[in-house]
Amino acid sequence: MNRPAIFSRSSLSRRHLLAGTAFGAAALAAPAILRAQPAPVKIGLLHPVTGFLAFSGQQCREGALLAIEAINAAGGIKSLGGAKLEPVLGDAQSKPEVGAAEVEKMNEAGVAAIVGAYASAISLATTQSAARYGIPHIVDVGVSDQIVQRGLTNTFRFCPGYGVIAKIAIDNLVALNDAAGKPARTVAIVHEESLFGTGTAQLLQKELPARGFEVVEVAKHANPTRDFTNVVLKLKALAPDIVIPANYYNEYVLLARTMRQQGVRPKAIYSVLGGAASSFKFVKEFPDDAAYIMDCNHWYDPRKAEALELRRKAEAKGLYYTYEVFLAHEAVRLLADALERAGSASRERIVEALATSSWDGHFMPYGPTRFVNGQNEGARPVNTQVLNGTIEVIFPAEFASARPVFPMPRA
Amino acid sequence: MRSLPAIGFFALAALPLPWLTSSGTVLNLATMVLLFATLGQAWNLLGGMAGQFSFGHAAFFGTGAYATAIAQIRFGLDAWSGFALAILAAVAMGALVGFASFRFRLRGSYFALVTLAFAEVARILANSLEITGAGVGLLLPLAPGLDRLQFADKAGYYWFALVLCTGGLVLASLVRESRLGARLAAVRENEEAARALGVDAFAVKMQAILLSAGLAGAVGAFYTQLFLYLDPHIAFGPQVSVEALLGPIVGGTASLWGPVLGAAVLQLLGEASRALTGGATGANLVAYGIVLVLIVRFFPDGIIGMGRARAADARGVTG
Amino acid sequence: MLEPSILAASLIHGLANGAVYALVALGLSLVYGVLHIINFAHGALLMAALYAVYFLVERVGLDPYAAIPILVPAAGVVGYLLHRYVVAKASRGREEAVLLVTLGVALVLENLALALFRSDTRTIETGWAFEMVAVGPALLPAAKLAAAAGALVAVLALWAVVRATDLGRAIRAVAKEREAARLVGIDVDHVFALAFAIGTATLGAAACLLLPTYYVSPQVGHGFVLIAFTIVVLGGMGSFWGAFWGGLLIGVVESLGGLFLGESLGQIGIFAIFIATLLLRPTGLFGRAV
């Protein structure tokens, strides 16, 4: 009876000893860790997550949060001793004045920078408010070029504006048409009535005639438009070779479906910033409507593993991998890179670091960042086409994953 | 001018806020309260005092907002002239809407719906016309300076809003204590009886809508100066009309201070519901909606009314 | 470029759309005619009904049309409770209070949908979305024709209820002479809530007929509220046949406006007619009240 007792006692004491050492070590180490753990860097994520832009706003927020999660998991900002990023969430409620009010709150919450605000109208208000406090503001999506033309030194846009997008869209359209032996000559533009659709359509309308295309129809429509039959009937009568939609998701889907219902089949549906044309949701839910649709839009470089990894992560969270997700994600990483190089969470230092940024760690096809007046000069859109139930890149040639199918086959 | 001391006290008490707080959030919130208080005061001149329920104050707000933006961008005028033009343009819009609807004796929900329709027509036109920038909207260049009515710091805008709100209060109290106020009250309570007593109901209602539209136009112009960007939805969207009437009804339509109190309560409610519900998407607006219903349930005459007795009292003053 | 065939096709499409609009506006017309209130929650209630259809189709596997007998009574019950215990309780019958309460209800419903279902646009796949029927020079989706037919049936049903039943008589009595109805022993509050319930129930039917050709998102009701108000006024508040003809008229005006002025500016036609009707003939162009 003794032996087991002694044995057990000794084993107990042994365990105690071990536990004691571990505890002791932890106790000794704890203050050191506490001391080494630097204050987190607060990042304002400001998006319209309620109201009529809620879908896009939520997608942006999720993308940005995924980036923060990944950066923190990888050890935070190294030059700040592994400081973690701490998101400060804001809801612009799809209204510019609420967005501006959120900036005030973020300023007082002590954010080092703001990433937002999806819509151009809201971004104009938030960048202006943030400028008052010198808060660096990365615009994640807003495509209006006015955002970066107001002389605000705190404002940076990573993605292209509609000026560049319209230009490249036309260049690629010409290349596409030339390569196929110029089968297309007439174009109809169908665009939504707000800033991005109207602005894009105006640029296209001005530029296309100079490049040998005749614009036979420009149809502007409201959001929401309940029925597209009229537009489609006109398209049927005019029979343009190419239809260019520039609108939001819901209207895009209705338009594409109505075209199919009415048997309108142009040589190409070539969207510029098409709300659904390069959306996995559209391709999955309406594969027949989506087939062969081309889009000139924000798109990642499919050669980059991180881009595909993010798609997997987003889909694991039940999200569609839309442009909002990866643009907001990369906007946060751009900021993290600036923090890394600034070695400081001070707003001026971050602005400086962004202005002189030459970051090439991203997965967008932009090359190293180079900001001129806040606009990333290398930013450009990509042309995609829905082929065999998935979205393939058809331009630029250096990372195209498929050859364009143009004109699209008669069903 | 029985209300003048109270208004003076209000303005003086509100004056030093920018020196008392360094918080941009507080100052911004206060500015927005003053903005919506003035818009509510404008609505109340017509909706509360004259009993003509408008659902379309966006028509006046938006006209003012666009007028000053167009004056500055298209015609190179300074912001002060733009501001004056904004008020004139909004008054003209008020004359159009008022003449059409009062001439044909529209009342109650019919009047409400016709104003809503006018605002929608304005929105659709702004979306298509060249001069309003169509869907692209209008962006004023960012250039602080007194001649451009742009301020480098929040305090400037706060005082600007305070001047506007005080002006609205003075206007409303002048109307209340004038013969016009008495006639408006008579028309509100019983238009037939008022007519029988020799009140020209059409003229009285026209005066109310002109004043109301002018003040709403001034608020619209202020919005333009503050945010520098307009599009048809921001200026003429139905949400503007709703915000214009929400404050006075919540605060109390019978009182001079109802719109101010209503605007303050609603803005604070918006803030509180956001703070309490945290980041959950939409939860803040669910809470806002519930509290709105509860306010209507428990303060039938607006918060300032608190009970029929005081509301009747206030009516007695104006009537 | 405007060939007669386009014009004719556009007219026919306008009529079909108009019938769907009428279906959405019917309930609003009843509520307006009886209760004399502007119900701002109408669009949000339509949205809620659309979500209900969506889940019945996607999760239970029902056909959207088979969901009608479930959704109509369910929506009716919701409408009854909503009026009796929220709208009536909070507003005590005052017009401006009803406005605020229904506005609050709309805010709550929309943002609850946002919180629960996220903001994704949802559509159902029916298998017959591309079944087209030639009507004269126009090609109409079969689902849209079904919705138009459903609108006609709904009008007839409502008309029969209001004309030929005791409930209908009570509703008419209350609509005309509230106090007198009370004096002869009609439970006015109950009848009000029933009218609201019937109004909401028609939205249940509308949702089942609408979803196959449309979509649902938390904001979807906004697109129908103003147009429904317009139809109610054109038709004469409280008149079902008025709402039906008003809907057709609006459908045609929208279609032709879109054809001649474009889909953005063309919307102005709807409001121009709306304003003209309000000014010149505020009792509506068609029919008479219940």
Longest dimension (CA), chain C: 64
CA distance C74 to C55: 14
Task: Give me the mean pLDDT over the A379-402 stretch.
Answer: 94
Q: Which residue of B lies nearest to C231 if distances are taken between CA atoms?
A: B113
Domain ranges of chain C: 4-280
Nearest CB to B234; choose among A89, A96, A151: A96
Q: Which of C257, C265, C276, C271 is nearest to C13 (CA)?
A: C257
Which residues of chain C lie closer than 8 angstroms to A227, CB-CB? 13, 17
The alpha carbon of residue B91 is apart from the nearest alpha carbon of chain A, in Å, by 25
* Cβ–Cβ contact C281 with B under 8 A: no
Q: What residues of A are in contact with residue C262 (Cβ under 8 Å)? A: 219-221
- Percent of chain A surpassing pLDDT 90: 86
Contacts of B250 in chain C (CB under 8 A): 100
- The count of domains in chain B is 1
Q: Which of B182, C222, B16 is nearest to A222 (CA)?
A: C222
Compute the distance between CA of residue C124 and CA of residue C127 in angstroms, rounded to an integer.
9
Omega before residue C212 within 30° of 0, cis: no
CATH code of the region A41-160+304-379: 3.40.50.2300
* Distance separating alpha carbons of residues A58 and A374, to the nearest angstrom: 25
Residue in A54, A220, A320 nearest the CB of C264: A220
Do residues B70 and B235 touch, judged by C-beta distance below 8 A? no
All partners of chain A with 3 or more CB pairs under 8 angstroms: B, C
* pLDDT in the model for residue A179: 95
- Domain C4-280, CATH number (from 1.10.3470, 3.40.50, 1.10.533, 3.40.630): 1.10.3470
Cβ contact C15:A227 at 8 Å: no
Would you say C79 and C192 are in contact if contact means Cβ atoms under 8 Å apart? no
* Residue C131's pLDDT band (cuts 50, 70, 90): confident
Whether the per-residue pLDDT at A404 is higher than 60: the answer is yes
Give the bridge partners for A91, in sequence order.
Answer: A47
Of B137, B227, B234, the CB nearest to A100: B227
Whether B115 and B43 have beta carbons less than 8 Å apart is answered as no
Q: What is the pLDDT of residues A253-278, one digit of tens each?
A: 999 999 999 999 999 999 999 888 88
To the nearest whole number, what is the mean pLDDT of chain C?
90
Closest residue in chain B to residue C228, using alpha carbons only: B113
What would the pLDDT profile of A118-135 be if each residue is shown by its tens digit? 999 999 999 999 999 999
Is B251:B258 a contact under the CB 8 Å cutoff? yes
- The reply to whether B205 falls in a domain is yes
**Which of A338, A330, A400, A403 has its CA nearest to residue A366?**
A330
Residues 27 through 86 of chain C touching chain B, CB cutoff 8 Å: 32, 36, 38, 86
In Å, how far is C184's CA from the nearest CA of chain B?
28
Q: What is the pLDDT of residue C176?
A: 85
Average pLDDT, stretch A354-364? 96
Residue B278 falls inside a structural domain: no
Instruction: Tell me which of A46-50, A125-129, C117-121 is least confident.
Output: C117-121
Residue C105: list chain B partners with CB under 8 A. Answer: 289, 293
Give the residue extent of every domain in chain A. Answer: 41-160+304-379, 163-297+383-399
CB contact under 8 A, C6 and A55: no
**Per-residue pLDDT, C127:** 78
Contact across the interface for C100 and B114, Cβ inside 8 Å: no
Nearest beta carbon to residue A233 from set C9, C17, C214 = C9
pLDDT tens-place values along chain B, 319 residues long: 689 999 999 999 999 999 999 899 999 999 999 999 999 999 999 999 999 999 999 999 999 999 999 999 999 999 999 999 999 999 999 999 999 999 998 888 889 989 999 999 999 999 999 999 998 999 999 999 998 999 988 999 999 999 999 999 999 999 999 999 999 999 999 999 999 999 999 999 999 999 999 999 999 999 999 999 999 999 999 999 999 999 999 999 888 999 999 999 999 998 888 888 766 778 888 988 998 999 889 988 888 876 444 444 444 433 3
**Does the CA dihedral B290-B55-B178-B220 come out positive or negative?**
positive
Which residues face A77 on adjacent strands?
A83
Kindly provide the ipTM of the predicted complex, given to two decimals: 0.90
Tokens matching residue A49: 């997550």
The predicted model gives C146-169 an average pLDDT of 91
| Whether A45 contacts chain B with CB within 8 A | no
Q: Is A91's Cβ below 8 Å from some Cβ in B?
A: yes
Measured between CA atoms, how close is A246 to chain B, in angstroms? 13
CATH architecture for residues A163-297+383-399: 3-Layer(aba) Sandwich (3.40)
pLDDT at C288: 56
What is the per-residue pLDDT for A9? 38
pLDDT of residue C286: 76
Q: C272 to chain B: nearest residue by CA?
A: B121
Q: Is C63 helix (H, G, I), strand (E, B) or coil?
A: coil
Q: Which residues, in sequence order, are bridge partners of residue C140?
A: C133
Residue A377 phi/psi, 5-degree rounding, is -65, -30
Nearest-CA distance A135 → chain B (Å): 13
Cβ-based interface (< 8 Å): residues of C facing A? 1, 3, 6, 9-10, 13, 17, 111, 114, 118-121, 123, 125, 129-130, 132, 139, 141, 214-215, 217-220, 222-224, 255, 258-259, 262-265, 267
Does C7 have pLDDT greater than 70? Answer: yes
Residues 6 or more apart in contact with residue B139 via CB below 8 angstroms: A124, A146, A150, B228, B229
Q: Is residue B80 part of a domain?
A: yes
Question: Phi, psi at residue A301, to the nearest 5°?
Answer: -85, 110
DSSP label at C216?
A: B
> For residues C108 and C47, is the Cβ–Cβ distance under 8 A?
no
From C262, which residue of chain B is nearest by alpha-carbon distance?
B128
| Beta carbons within 8 Å of B270's beta carbon, 6+ residues apart | B284, B288
Q: For residue A252, name the pLDDT band (cuts at 50, 70, 90).
A: very high
Q: At what angle do helices C4-35 and A229-238 cross, to 10 degrees?
A: 180
> What amino acid is encoded at C94 in this protein?
R
3-state secondary structure of A361: coil
Inter-chain CB proximity A260 and C130 less than 8 Å: yes
| Residue position matching structure tokens 């309406």 | A286
Q: Supply φ then ψ for residue B151, to 5 degrees.
A: -115, 145
Exposure pattern of A319-328 as b/e (b: 16+ CB <10 Å)?
Answer: bbbbbbbbbb
Residues in chain B: 319
Phi, psi at residue A182, to the nearest 5°? 50, 55
Q: What is the pLDDT of residues C226-243, one digit of tens each?
A: 899 999 988 887 888 999
Above 90 in pLDDT, residue A20? no
B212 in any annotated domain:
yes
Cβ-defined contact of A101 to B28 (cutoff 8 Å):
yes
Closest to A104 (Cβ–Cβ): which among B24, B229, B285?
Answer: B24
